[in-house]
Structure 1
């Protein structure tokens, strides 16, 4: 069904350039993100996700606060995290913050829970990386209990137990839509099925079809463990311009800076335009004119059988005005084209 396909946007609040090419203060970047969310609502985009980070090149450390600001100035767009690093947070407080956003937005809040591919939050909040797996598995178990509503009783090793504890504010209508973010861990796929939660795949490199084993694992786990198949989604980076070459040239400086910064931290080689071109042509970088990006998104949706695609529209220090144009093109031209392509198949 074409009607149940959702197209969204994600950002980490990448610190952008302003006058004279100087990096903006993170405070201004946050104000810009609010404006980007308002525009996304105006052009009909289904969802905007804000990613949590704790470092100088990304401005968003408290997604829920920014989401609440966007909620107060929008009407229909769904609002969520991309992702919330549950491993280094307190599940009860995460639930309370998102139930608050849900109330402010009249039921438009979502949360995507992840283990965190960036690890700055662990020492910041006093968690040991040696406990990486235990922290996520136990905290997800508690969060799943909170989603049921009513008094919660829970016991584990990473926080004090709860006994018949009510959590406030409760979700007003139904439950809080909660996704499990998956990068490359089969265990996270099975966890999503165990708790009956949708799965969001972060595909940031290589051909999307190489993630088909994760989709297959999800369906096999549903068959074996029982339950219903939940929506599956993909998050990937990209940029929309008026033409393929303009989009490529707009993205390259910010993409280069971001990839080389993260690559230097993780021991990767320096990126090149040739590598970016290859990822654009054959991999998971959705860059080009509205027609080019729409065709690539539609192909990914068909190949993986997903219900939502979220484009990470900010990559490195790209100017705010460039990001706003990309958002406008995504909502007004890419989205209708994707729906038309899918309707014809």
Structure 2
């Protein structure tokens, strides 16, 4: 398992300047570019940016920011996390990412999803009542566009296409495509049906709960005759010099984000005890490099994952310098230690 890849993810959470002043949306986007450039310098494999359309996150157009990152990097793969395909147009999504693939010299990848937030639906004129059918139809169209051949397609929520050729083509003839899944067996099977890569969003509870989804994905690809790619997983976390520093730095922003989401979904406010329990026994990777490395290694083995992405910003709030330091520790200390633990046969 030493060939596991490691990435970082962010939604462009609004951080603060070291002076304590809250960043503007523009400054937050520039900060993400700096963090991604650092990731490339220290050997992190992937950078993925989420799409949101709300005031607490700065990135609504991941491809634009990824294109800026492409100009500052050489090796790191560049993807979305996720592209909300249901409220977008598959043709335009393909065109944007094939363009990103061109300017990055073949480093683009797309993670498709329905999104855990729904603000994009009314913004772009879609009815939430069509939530399921929009994704089902659009992922089918996108799968055909990936052949990079003329497409004939008809659905109920988008104009039909007849022998439509879409440009630009990629140099390789293939755009790496994942589907982000939060725990729906139907979504796992759909991913396998199209031969896409599976990215598990593990944002709470013990990661081993998701091992059956990996087994389902592999069984389904075998039945469909598609390829069972290495499975990815992403979870929230933060790294500092000590466990105490990491928790104290991360908790305020993470709680604020969790409570904002919870207010929309009827959840009670998060307590410190719940946070600590998730850090100790669940899927929050918060602590010193040694603590986080051991926990990541254990999670990778539990899920049998081929890629681990750390969602490292967790609601913003903290100074940009702390975020940069967290990325640095992840790339220079945590990842090498995880690889050593996996090579040794487990986390210990």
Q: What is the TM-score of this pair, normalised by structure 1?
A: 0.98
Distance across 1 between alignment mates of 2:199 and 2:8:
13
Instruction: Please state whether the residue corresponding to 2:163 is helix, strand or coil.
Output: strand
Query: Aligned equivalents of 1:321 and 1:63: distance in 2?
Result: 22
Secondary structure of 2:65 counterpart: helix
User: What's the CA shift for 1:144?
Assistant: 0.5
How many Å separate the matches in 2 of 1:48 and 1:98? 14
Report matched runs for 1:158-307 at 5 Å.
158-307=157-306
Q: Partner of 1:114 in structure 2?
A: 113
Q: Distance in 2 between matches of 1:304 and 1:28?
A: 37
Distance 2:19 2:330 in 1: 28
Structure 2 residues without counterparts, runs of 5 or longer:
none
Distance across 1 between alignment mates of 2:167 and 2:223 = 35
Deviations 1:207-255 (CA, angstroms, capped at 9, x unpaired): 0011122112212212322222112110100001111111111101111
Q: Deviations over 1:301-329 (max 9, x none)?
A: 11111100000000112221111000000
1:193 match: secondary structure: helix
Matching residue of 1:138: 137
Q: How far apart are residue 287 of structure 1 and its match?
A: 0.5
User: Residues 265-313 of structure 1, C-alpha deviation per residue, up to 9 Å, x if partnerless?
Assistant: 2111111211111000000000111111111111111111110000000
1:28 to 2:33 alignment = no
Q: Which residue pairs with 1:327 in the alignment?
A: 327
2:39 maps to 40
> 1:337 and 2:325 equivalent?
no
Q: Which aligned pairs between 1:94-109 and structure 2 lie closer than 5 A?
A: 94-109=93-108
When structure 1 is superposed on structure 2, of 63-72 and 268-277 the one drifting more is 268-277
Task: State how far apart, in whole Å, the 2-side matches of 1:187 and 1:326 are.
Answer: 36
Is the partner of 2:78 in helix, strand or coil? strand
RMSD: 1.1
Deviations 1:103-123 (A, max 9, x none): 000000010000011000000
1:4-63: CA deviations, max 9, x gaps? Answer: x10000000011123653421101100111111101101110001000000000000000
Q: Once the 2 structures are TM-superposed, how far is the Cα of residue 76 of structure 1 from its aligned partner?
A: 0.4
Task: Show the counterpart of 2:49.
Answer: 50
Q: Report if aligned partners of 2:211, 2:304 keep a CA contact under 8 Å in 1.
A: no
Distance 2:156 2:42 in 1: 46
Looking at structure 2, the residues matched to 266 and 15 of structure 1 have their Cα atoms a distance apart, in angstroms, of: 22
Give the whole-Å Cα distance in 1 for the aligned partners of 2:143 and 2:295.
Answer: 34
Structure 2 Cα separation of the partners of residues 299 and 270 of structure 1: 29
- TM-score under structure 2 length normalisation: 0.97
Residue in 2 that maps onto 1:69: 68
Aligned-residue offset at 1:187: 1.2
For 1:59 and 1:22, the matched residues in 2 are separated by: 16
SS in 2 for 1:21: coil
